Structure 1
Amino acid sequence: MSATTATATPAKPLPTLDPVSKGFWDLANRGRLSVQRCDDCGHRHYPGAPVCPRCLSRQQTWEPVSGRGTLLSWVRFHRAYWEGFAPDIPYVVILVGLEEGPMMISNLVGARAEDVPIGAPLEVVFERATDQINLPKFRPRRG
């Protein structure tokens, strides 16, 4: 009788929840996309920062947004910079311009990148990674 060993696929790196990003991940965990909004000047930005990049105020709030955006660009990775991505090679990373202004880097799901023209409308969907991490990804907008 021969013994076999199962080789587990290495895990993908996960975001670190810190005091600045915690609000984003709390809302994502409930299926809501958010950006940081300055309570003093109203500037919306992503990723979060300890101070507003416009006025330097420390008063920041994570504000839910529509989850709609536009495909600005994409790239197909043919190399796994982390072992956990090796089974996904090649994979697509996209740049999304959110309706509310900020841009976000994510992944395209539900379509091949070459079938989605630059400028196409997108909508957020979430992929559960752990009990605390619900990853925002984007698909072509329906309807």
Structure 2
Amino acid sequence: MTESRLPTSPEMTEETATFWQAANEGRLLVKHCLGSGRAFHPPRNISPFTGLAETEWRDASGTGVIYSFSVMRRHEAEHCIAYVQLSEGPIILSALTDCNFDRVEIGQLVRVVFVPTANGQMVPMFTPEAEG
């Protein structure tokens, strides 16, 4: 990836700092509601299920399926944004990388990979699982 094609650096907040620090370690984290036992994304301190600040970070498997996607082709650049439903349940907005965008399909199995931004912050993206 050339520097002009590197992903945009995320804006880190107090609620998301742990998520981005884990990404730099090659780990995908999701928040879990302690009251309902359900995972959720995007990360926040208050559970969307109970409205309580009873949440904790847990490591995610890093696997999921493509829920929806859109391929954009402008000039010489291609980009594919995708909603990925993680194996833990939540749907995360990300991008696909290291694949042929013409062969992407809804329901396709994917796994997380971490890609550096211009400032070095790693961001989670997804790539299709090898077939066969």
What interval of TM-score do these two structures reach, taking the shorter chain for normalisation? 0.7 to 0.9
Contact 1:43–1:52 (8 Å) recurs in 2: no
Distance of aligned partners of 1:47 and 1:88 in 2 relative to their CA distance in 1, 3 Å threshold? farther
Deviation at 1:13, TM superposition (A): 3.6
Distance 1:95 1:9, change over 3 A: closer
> In percent, how many aligned pairs have the same letter?
28
Between structure 1 and structure 2, the one with the greater Rg is 1
Instruction: Please identify runs of 4+ aligned residues in structure 1 that moved more than 6 A.
Output: none
TM-score by length of 2: 0.84
Q: How far has the Cα of 1:12 moved from its partner?
A: 5.5
Give the equivalent residue in structure 2 for 1:22. 17
Residue 57 of structure 2 is aligned with which of 59, 62, 66?
Answer: 62
Residue of structure 1 in register with 2:32 after alignment: 37
Q: Does 1:89 align with 2:77?
A: yes
Runs of 5+ consecutive residues of structure 1 not aligned to the other structure:
1-7, 80-86
CA–CA distance in 1 between the matches of 2:38 and 2:14?
A: 20
Q: Which moved more, 1:107-116 or 1:27-36?
A: 107-116
DSSP-derived class of the 1:90 partner = strand
Q: How many residues align?
A: 128
1:136 aligns with 2:131: no
Mark the runs of 5 or more structure 2 residues left unpaired by the alignment.
none
1:51 and 2:46 equivalent? yes
Supply the distance in 1 between the matched residues of 2:128 and 2:4 (Cα, whole angstroms): 29
- For residues 90 and 106 of structure 1, the distance between their equivalents in structure 2, rounded to whole angstroms, comes to 15
Give 2:103's aligned residue.
Answer: 115
